[in-house]
């Protein structure tokens, strides 16, 4: 059987783009069981309340929900367990330093298959205040209006 190539989106965390200012992005592998991979292939993943944490020189994905796979029988998985992230030691140390010093947080922005393996994109993020969120929405709307006006003039 041929090895799958390319990327296929599993889940996207649009809330993270709204609630946080994303500073730096890192790709990480995820340690999953077979039933979790099958459930992810069906798209039953939620990243809305998830975050990444660094404990004991290891990175963990906390709060991500992967629904139980229906055909797994009694060999399923716990849907809300913490999952280990696969990162290089230098990446973990760098992220830990930035989170600890600058008061930033690690937020998963999307989960996808890349060449048959499940990957998570983690962003180093700073939380936005309510007024900041409103300003971002207003700026986006203004930019959309400008683009529409320019399109009409052409």
- Alpha helices in 8-154, H assignment, sequence order: 14-19, 34-41, 89-102, 130-153
pLDDT at 103 over 90: no
Q: What is the pLDDT at residue 145? A: 92
Residue 63 belongs to a domain with what CATH number? 2.40.280.10
**Residues of the chain above pLDDT 90, percent:** 46
Has residue 107 got a pLDDT over 80? yes
* 39 within domain boundaries: yes
Tell me the mean pLDDT in the region 139-153. 90
Mean pLDDT of all residues in 108-134: 88
pLDDT exceeds cutoff 90 at 75? no
Q: Mean pLDDT across the chain, nearest whole number?
A: 88
Sequence-distant (≥ 6) Cβ neighbours of residue 69 within 8 angstroms: 35, 36, 38, 39, 42, 44, 76, 77
What is the domain extent for residue 106? 7-69+77-128
The answer to the question of residue 152 being in a domain is no
- Asked if residues 109 and 122 have their Cβ atoms less than 8 Å apart, the reply is yes
Q: Is the pLDDT of residue 1 over 70?
A: no
Does a structural domain hold residue 63? Answer: yes
What is the distance of C-alpha 138 from the center of its chain?
A: 25
Is 141 a member of any domain?
no
Answering whether pTM is above 0.75, one says: yes
23 Cβ neighbours under 8 A, 6+ residues apart: 104, 123, 124, 125, 126
- 2 — pLDDT class (breaks 50, 70, 90): low
In a domain, 64, yes or no: yes
Is residue 121 scored above 90 in pLDDT? Answer: yes
pLDDT band at 127 (very low <50, low <70, confident <90, very high): confident
Minimal CA–CA distance to 59: which of 82, 80, 84, 25? 84
Q: Count of domains in the chain?
A: 1
């Amino acid at each position: 059987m041929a090895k799958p190539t390319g990327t296929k989106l599993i889940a996207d965390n649009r809330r993270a783009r709204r609630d946080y200012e994303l500073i730096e992005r890192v790709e990480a592998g995820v340690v999953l069981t077979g039933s979790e991979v099958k459930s992810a292939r069906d798209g039953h993943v939620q990243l809305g309340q998830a975050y990444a944490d660094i404990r004991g020189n290891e990175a963990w994905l906390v709060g991500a929900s992967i629904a139980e796979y229906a055909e797994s029988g009694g060999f399923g998985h716990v849907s809300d367990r913490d999952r280990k992230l696969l990162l290089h030691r230098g990446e973990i140390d760098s992220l830990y330093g930035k989170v600890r010093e600058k008061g930033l947080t690690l937020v998963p922005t999307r989960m996808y298959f890349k060449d048959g393996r499940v990957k998570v994109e983690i962003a180093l993020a700073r939380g936005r205040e309510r007024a900041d969120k409103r300003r971002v929405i207003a700026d986006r709307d203004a930019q959309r209006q400008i683009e529409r006006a320019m399109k009409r003039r052409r």
